[in-house]
Amino acid sequence: MGAEIWQALGLTFQLASITTLLLLLCGLPLAHFLNSLPNRFGVVLETIVALPIVLPPTVLGFYLLVIFAPQNFFGALWQRLFGQQLAFSFPGLVLGSMLYSLPFAIQPFQSALRGIPRFLIEAAVLEANPIQVFWHVRLPLALRGIVVGATLAFAHTIGEFGVVMMIGGSIPGITKVASVALYNEVQKPNYAVANQYAVILLASSFCLLFAVVLLQRHSRWFDL
């Protein structure tokens, strides 16, 4: 296989890894926060967080492209802070992917955190402050759901196409991820190379989902 294929695949997995890592960092506190909200606000916020599941990626891509533009507030702010524009950049893709995969991480996080028996938390609260309780009680007890959420977010980012198509600009090594490279090969048309991408994407997606299903069926693996 050519160097181009490895570059695109490497970029895809790099994007998925960084997105997943950041979703773990921001997603866990967010999930905890959403769980703690009273119903009235919680319902609205949870709906917003879940939107990327049903939203056409073109909606997200369109708004991001407008928001990223250097003459608009957010685009200008980013450029001033980091000296680089967001559209057609790797950080731009990371930001887009985080939004795109957010619900796939948050929802398993939320139900895992919610599933912790109340008496355990109540007992822990007597001994420790809320941050300690979060790190030493909630996180370990929710580990299975966290792993499921992270794996789903990773897999979903690999499957991203529409958003990248709209804000990526197909730059080799920077924004030309495997799904976009595959599309380009089909257009050329170069079915042999397209097939190489497709087989690898199919196999990796299968393996990731297989892991998720395994985790969900073997609930005792993460029992402490």
Partner 1 sequence: MVWPACLLPLFFAVETVPATRAETVTIAAAADLTYCIEDLNRSYQESHPDTELKLSTGSSGNFSTQIQNGAPFDVFLSADIQYPKNLTSGGFVDPSTLTVYAVGRIVLWTTKPDTVNLDRGIDVLRDRAAVKKIAIANPEHAPYGRAAKSILENSGIWAEVQDRIVQGENIAQTAQFAQTGNVDAGFVALSLLLSPNLKHIGRYIEMDPKLYPKLEQAMVLTTAGSKRPVVRAYFQFLQSPAARAIFNQYGFTLPAPNG
* Residue 67: CB minimum distance to partner 1, A: 10
Nearer to partner 1 among residue 153 and residue 193 (C-beta): 193
Among 14, 35, 85, 205, binds partner 1 (CB under 8 A): 85
Q: Interface with partner 1 includes 7 (CB under 8 A)?
A: no
The three state secondary structure string of the chain is CCHHHHHHHHHHHHHHHHHHHHHHHHHHHHHHHHHHCCHHHHHHHHHHHHHHHHCCHHHHHHHHHHHHCCCCHHHHHHHHHHCCCCCCCHHHHHHHHHHHHHHHHHHHHHHHHHCCCHHHHHHHHHHCCHHHHHHHHHHHHCHHHHHHHHHHHHHHHHCCCHHHHHHCCCCCCCCCCHHHHHHHHHHCCCHHHHHHHHHHHHHHHHHHHHHHHHHHHCHHHHCC
* Residue 65: CB minimum distance to partner 1, A: 6
* Residue 75: CB minimum distance to partner 1, A: 8
Tell me how many residues contact partner 1 (CB under 8 A): 20
172: alpha, beta or left? (left if phi > 0; alpha if psi -120 to 50)? beta
* Residue 13: CB minimum distance to partner 1, A: 22
* Residue 85: CB minimum distance to partner 1, A: 7
Nearer to partner 1 among residue 115 and residue 189 (C-beta): 189
Residue for token digits 């930001």? Answer: 95
Interaction with partner 1 in 42-81: which residues (CB under 8 A)?
65-66, 68-72
Near partner 1 by CB under 8 A, which window of 35-43, 84-92, 143-151, 204-212?
A: 84-92
Mark residues 157-196: x for contact with partner 1 by CB under 8 A, - for none. --------x---xxx-----------xx-xxxx-------
d(CA 41, CA 44): 5
* Residue 191: CB minimum distance to partner 1, A: 9
Interaction with partner 1 in 199-218: which residues (CB under 8 A)?
none
Residue for token digits 């495997």? Answer: 178
Nearer to partner 1 among residue 130 and residue 189 (C-beta): 189
Task: Please give the single-letter amino acid code of residue 144.
Answer: R
User: Applying CB under 8 A, which residues contact partner 1?
Assistant: 65-66, 68-72, 85, 87-88, 165, 169-171, 183-184, 186-189
